[in-house]
């Protein structure tokens, strides 16, 4: 299927917003010993890298990979493809997500992580697609709230392509 891309957020807009988010996170965790940043693979990798370099609080990077399947009223089952390497009990944890859509997968991950009794658990998402939300998920920090568009770039993909774009684009499919 053919498609074109149009820019939603430029490289400069993203850089500025990531700097603003980092300043807020630095202020929030200024008295913390360390924060474990958990990137949800693969989409969050670029956002996590850029954000983490702007943080002044000591950070530990870790990653989770999940897949969700099934369609039930509770959002289906979330399968863990890559588990955390770090123990999070009694520690400050910040989940880094590229985009929150329905909220089902993120809500399940949050529930799983809370069972491990972290000191705190917060969520930072680059994009928040609230119009598609099926489960209420509180987002502590967000880059941009967006409409229901198919987006790529800055870590997000279409058929594994476009993750490396320095901007966020809207995929416009040919009719």
Enzyme catalytic residues:
101
Return the C-alpha torsion angle 143, 144, 149, 152, nearest 10: -30
List of residues 6+ apart from 159 with CB closer than 8 A = none
HEC readout, 59-74: EEEEEEEEEEECCCCC
Contact 60, 85 (CB under 8 A): no
């Amino acid at each position: 299927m053919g498609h074109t891309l149009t820019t939603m957020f430029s490289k400069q807009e993203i850089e500025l917003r990531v700097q603003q988010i980092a300043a807020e996170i630095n202020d929030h965790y200024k008295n913390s010993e360390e924060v474990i940043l958990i990137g949800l693979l693969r989409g969050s990798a670029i956002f996590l890298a850029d954000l983490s370099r702007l943080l002044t609080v000591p950070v530990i990077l870790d990653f989770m990979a999940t897949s969700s399947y099934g369609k039930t009223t509770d959002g289906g089952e979330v399968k863990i493809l890559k588990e955390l390497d770090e123990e999070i009990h009694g520690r400050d944890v910040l989940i880094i997500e590229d985009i929150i859509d329905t909220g089902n997968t993120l809500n399940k991950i949050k529930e799983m992580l809370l069972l491990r009794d972290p000191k705190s658990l917060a969520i930072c998402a680059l994009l928040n697609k609230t119009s598609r939300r099926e489960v209420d998920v509180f987002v502590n920090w967000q880059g941009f709230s967006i409409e229901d568009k198919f987006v790529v770039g800055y870590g997000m993909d279409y058929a594994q392509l476009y993750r490396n774009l320095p901007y966020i684009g809207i995929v416009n499919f040919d009719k």
